[in-house]
Structure 1
Amino acid sequence: MSEQHFDVLIIGAGLSGIGAAWRLRKQRPRDTYAVLEARDAIGGTWDLFRYPGVRSDSDMFTLSYPFRPWREPEALASGDKIRRYIEETAAEAGITRHIRFGTRVVSADWSSEDARWTVHTADGTTLTCSFLYGCSGYYRYDEGHRPDFAGLGDFTGRLVHPQFWPDDLDWTGKRVVVIGSGATAVTLVPAMAAGAAHVTMLQRSPTYVTPLPDRDLIADVARRVLPPKAANRVARAKNILLTQGFYQLAKRRPKLVRRALRGVAVHFLKNPAYVDEHFNPRYDPWDQRLCVIPSGDLYRVITDGRASVVTDHIDTFVREGIRLRSGTVLDADVVVSATGLSLLPLGGVHLSVDGERVDVGRSASYRGLMLGGVPNFAYCIGYVNASWTLRADLSHRYVLRLLDHMERHGYASAAPTGPTGTGRPLLDLSSGYVQRALDIFPRQGDRDPWIVRQNYLRDVLTTPRADVTRDMEFTRRPALRSTEVV
């Protein structure tokens, strides 16, 4: 058993954690910190997912850090390039040496008497810190969503889950069925179609997809006439305005957007009946996250005959593949279960305050980054309707402003105090993977600053100026034993 104390501990060395560490060392260089990473590599999600074609479905000019412009030609980048970008950011800023790999945090207990967190890791190490920042996202890394498929034992082919892609899988010349219609499925189908005999995307119901170009023409022009940082700002601003404008239009005029998306699909597939059967969801646009297909690659492999879509329900697995409720049997040598992810708040870390367990599912979310009644703790969750990093970076900057305020006034702790979490879910999407996890995530309150608005344009104006004292209880250094509520 060993113990060390830090001003700040950051959990997770993915896109969020490295961004938080960069902001911390830039704004508060005197603070001691460490980044605790459960895996043995930098990258988080972009190190975990290694399935064919894995890529961003947000443009890299907004998914990249604002302080380190994206310089690759692709607007939608591969997982390898994103992981390398995160690694290079950490190395250039001297963050890598502060990362403790293979360090999985299992619990953290706050002591009001000592005004510090005691953090316990899976290997028995104990660390303490004055502020704890969870940047582990919300995916469960050790387990994906695995439906209980009937008859699976009869299937003579191979079943794989994208989250745990096997290195030895060869699908060349084989019949592949990809179960699912979300972002992972629409990425896998064109990637595997290049070598497979045929790929079938089997979905229970359609999902909205939209083509975006691989290259950003505005960014390419800006790069030719402007310095790199200025060009990146132009591309970033353009994409923010477009994505936020499209989202707001979809929420206000869903029928109009539905018609537009259908029109694009018909343009690519040249078959209105096929589109209405397989690409006409029951829900409105942006009730679930919209899936991006680079340059229409999914549509292109369908029109080329290398892939197809079947909309039906699974009855049972059989020896040669999957029998559907309609009675049709889909022959398959390989089945990929792209059936969704499992979510896990705070990376599965168990929090307690003065020995009392924090029930995250019954907690209120303060500004979408702290928990009501929990001192000196923040967590990072990105937008559901825009690039993750846009919101993550705003969260980092807010946390640092709070730390600066506490230092100036001699406060040892800050805990949000206000309403209970009885309002809308923190993740307000109808997607299955979100709905399965509603009870374990905090909920919003009924007023600011306990409401999370999925609106970057609003947040970028208000968050940097937000009153860090609003609905916040501050406690002075332990030696003074006094409390101030604002």
Structure 2
Amino acid sequence: MLATAPDFDVLIVGAGISGIGMAAHMEMKSPNHSYAIVERRENLGGTWDLFRYPGIRSDSDMHTLGFDFEPWKHEKTIADAPAILEYLNTIVDERGIRQHIRYSHKVISADFREDEARWHVEMELDDGSTTRLTANFLYLGSGYYDYDEAYDPGFEFGEFEGQVIHPQFWPDNLDYAGKNVVVIGSGATAVTIVPSMADKAAKVTMLQRTPTWMFARPAKDWIANSLRKFLPEKLAYRITRWKNIKMQDFSFKMAREKPQKMKDTLHKNIEKALGDDFDRDTFTPPYDPWDQRVCLVPDDDLFKAMKSGKAQVVTGHIKKFEKGGVRLKSGEFLDADIVITATGLKLAVAGKIAVSLNGEPVKFEERFYYKGCMFSNLPNLAVVFGYLNASWTLRADINSDYVCRVLNHMRTTGSDMATPVLTPADEAAIVEDDIFDFSSGYIQRGKHIMPRNSIAYPWRLNQEYVVDRKQMVDEPVNDGLISFTRAGANAQSGEEQLEAAE
């Protein structure tokens, strides 16, 4: 055994959905392991606490964005941020997790030292001072985007004298009543903001360079709410969750296999909502559905705002910003008192933490994903990067469950390190795949910093939850690829060392 124990068996970075989910899984499945959650912000919730723009909500249903172990009990399945935060706070209180959270701890660096089998993690506190913790295993629930910087498309605002706001840094108490607002962008954030601001603003214009595929659905799931009336809460939730998982999977595969049929369906639904106001060109992107994420429009809210005359969607390219608004290359002028740049996020790997192994910087872009959870030849580190074609939490759940089984196997075998081993010969034989088969701007801009991806499991970040879940659950933890060893023992496994000692 190690001469001195680390501060914690597991250090979880981030108190958002991923970090809270890992803690909850540990409480249920690895209760004999100690852990702490370090969170850079003053509150839990991650994305759902950071973003404060009007109408912020989930863009997928809460029966799949919710955890597999905690039923979603609200009537609305498309939930706003306050409801999601309430859900997360209930979990941390009822499951004894809150006492393990350390707020205002921003992780700066993490170095794994193999001779000690532990991470040395340096953190910065609000007052600028630093502190250190050690842990045997590091679990990064730090999200996928840069909390400090948003994507900057390089706009020059010239003579424009109004307010310019990025949704990631929304000001408190913004007064937009009676004002003209231009929202630049056509992704999920813009589609959420436009109808939410339309009730108070004079007019809200969504300015899109290219259209986005959109689909409308009710914010309430009548099947889920009906099942809850007649079945136990957990059973109703499991049924609804599986229904929605299969529907997501079916819709994605339909879009890939029969794109024209999917286009026709999406257009038909928008035309039904807008009636004579439907302009096909405004809602026809130059790519197939699910080549980028399809934007959710709950309860037709965007289309209702357009029909009322309080909102519009304009397709065009910006020529320049002028006094009082935005001039397009077409010559059209859009009045604006406020410009909102909903132009996308900036991807980040491992929460921008300076990760190193025995003092040598880890370059994630040189390592392969292992089961969408760990990385080749990097011990005792797991991450969550959610699905692009389904809810983030689906991956968070299966990764948490898997890591708990790894931890338990390590404890049973007396191992200190779990390392997905990829030999040079095996690496040379791997056929690589595009890690993200999506054309979204934020994805393409960040691909150069992303880990490598094989065409075949397990050296892969897959995008098919049903397949991933089966493989993660059915395949043994000790699959011959992940090595379980003890500190200072090189390649000798924990089982071999125990046998030698007897």
Class of the TM-score when normalised by the shorter of the 2 chains:
over 0.9
For the residue of structure 2 that corresponds to 1:256, the secondary structure is: helix
Q: Deviations over 1:335-380 (max 9, x none)?
A: 1110111111111111111121111122211111111111010001
The equivalent residue for 2:66 is 64
| Bigger Cα displacement from structure 2, 237-246 vs 284-293 | 237-246
Deviation of the 1:203 alpha carbon: 0.3
2:315 to 311, 318, 323: 311
Deviation of the 1:168 alpha carbon: 2.9
Q: Report the TM-score when normalising by structure 1.
A: 0.96
For the residue of structure 1 that corresponds to 2:251, the secondary structure is: helix
What are the ranges of 5 or more consecutive residues in structure 1 without an aligned counterpart? none
Matches within 5 A, 1:260-275: 260-271=265-276, 274-275=278-279
Query: Does residue 392 of structure 1 match 2:396?
Result: yes
Matches within 5 A, 1:231-250: 231-250=236-255
For the residue of structure 2 that corresponds to 1:261, the secondary structure is: helix
Q: Report the TM-score when normalising by structure 2.
A: 0.93
On the 8 A contact 1:473/1:484 being kept in 2, the answer is no
User: Relative to 1, partners in 2 of residues 1:481 and 1:238: Cα closer, same or farther, differing over 3 Å?
Assistant: closer
Deviation of the 1:446 alpha carbon: 3.4
The equivalent residue for 1:276 is 280
The equivalent residue for 1:483 is 492
The equivalent residue for 1:334 is 338
Q: What CA distance in whole angstroms lies between the structure 2 residues aligned with 1:308 and 1:480?
A: 66
| Bigger Cα displacement from structure 2, 70-79 vs 411-420 | 411-420
Which one-letter code corresponds to 1:228 in the other structure? E
On the 8 A contact 1:108/1:117 being kept in 2, the answer is yes
The equivalent residue for 1:455 is 464
The equivalent residue for 2:264 is 259
Which one-letter code corresponds to 1:225 in the other structure? F
Q: Deviations over 1:111-164 (max 9, x none)?
A: 1111111111124211111100001110211111122113x1310111111111
The equivalent residue for 1:292 is 296
Q: What CA distance in whole angstroms lies between the structure 2 residues aligned with 1:250 and 1:482?
A: 46
Matches within 5 A, 1:113-192: 113-122=115-124, 123-150=129-156, 152-192=157-197
Q: What CA distance in whole angstroms lies between the structure 2 residues aligned with 1:73 and 1:471?
A: 46
The equivalent residue for 1:26 is 28
Q: Deviations over 1:379-432 (max 9, x none)?
A: 011111111111110000111111122222222111112237872343432100
Deviation of the 1:475 alpha carbon: 4.7
User: Relative to 1, partners in 2 of residues 1:451 and 1:479: Cα closer, same or farther, differing over 3 Å?
Assistant: closer
Query: Does residue 82 of structure 1 match 2:84?
Result: yes
User: Relative to 1, partners in 2 of residues 1:265 and 1:176: Cα closer, same or farther, differing over 3 Å?
Assistant: same
On the 8 A contact 2:185/2:209 being kept in 1, the answer is yes
On the 8 A contact 1:411/1:474 being kept in 2, the answer is no
The equivalent residue for 2:75 is 73
Which one-letter code corresponds to 1:197 in the other structure? A
Q: What CA distance in whole angstroms lies between the structure 1 residues aligned with 2:37 and 2:437?
A: 29
On the 8 A contact 1:474/1:485 being kept in 2, the answer is no
User: Relative to 1, partners in 2 of residues 1:457 and 1:343: Cα closer, same or farther, differing over 3 Å?
Assistant: same
Q: Percent identity?
A: 44
* Structure 1 segments (4+ residues) deviating >4 Å: 479-482
Number of equivalent positions: 482
Q: What CA distance in whole angstroms lies between the structure 2 residues aligned with 1:222 and 1:347?
A: 39
On the 8 A contact 1:179/1:339 being kept in 2, the answer is yes
Which one-letter code corresponds to 1:143 in the other structure? E
For the residue of structure 2 that corresponds to 1:9, the secondary structure is: strand
Q: What CA distance in whole angstroms lies between the structure 2 residues aligned with 1:383 and 1:437?
A: 16
For the residue of structure 2 that corresponds to 1:411, the secondary structure is: coil
On the 8 A contact 1:69/1:228 being kept in 2, the answer is yes
Q: What CA distance in whole angstroms lies between the structure 2 residues aligned with 1:476 and 1:336?
A: 52
For the residue of structure 1 that corresponds to 2:7, the secondary structure is: strand
| Bigger Cα displacement from structure 2, 449-458 vs 301-310 | 449-458
Deviation of the 1:232 alpha carbon: 1.1
Deviation of the 1:484 alpha carbon: 4.2
Which one-letter code corresponds to 1:110 in the other structure? F
The equivalent residue for 1:437 is 446
On the 8 A contact 2:486/2:493 being kept in 1, the answer is no
Deviation of the 1:183 alpha carbon: 0.1
Q: What CA distance in whole angstroms lies between the structure 1 residues aligned with 2:378 and 2:177?
A: 52
Q: What CA distance in whole angstroms lies between the structure 2 residues aligned with 1:111 and 1:120?
A: 14
1:224 to 229, 234, 249: 229
On the 8 A contact 1:158/1:335 being kept in 2, the answer is yes
Q: Deviations over 1:238-259 (max 9, x none)?
A: 1111111111111111111011
Which one-letter code corresponds to 2:435 in the other structure? L
When the two chains are superposed, the root-mean-square deviation of aligned CA atoms in Å is 1.8
The equivalent residue for 2:500 is none
Q: Deviations over 1:437-482 (max 9, x none)?
A: 1011112123221123311222222211123233534253236555
Q: What CA distance in whole angstroms lies between the structure 2 residues aligned with 1:39 and 1:288?
A: 30
User: Relative to 1, partners in 2 of residues 1:27 and 1:172: Cα closer, same or farther, differing over 3 Å?
Assistant: same
On the 8 A contact 1:12/1:35 being kept in 2, the answer is yes
For the residue of structure 1 that corresponds to 2:15, the secondary structure is: coil
For the residue of structure 2 that corresponds to 1:143, the secondary structure is: coil
What are the ranges of 5 or more consecutive residues in structure 2 without an aligned counterpart? 496-502
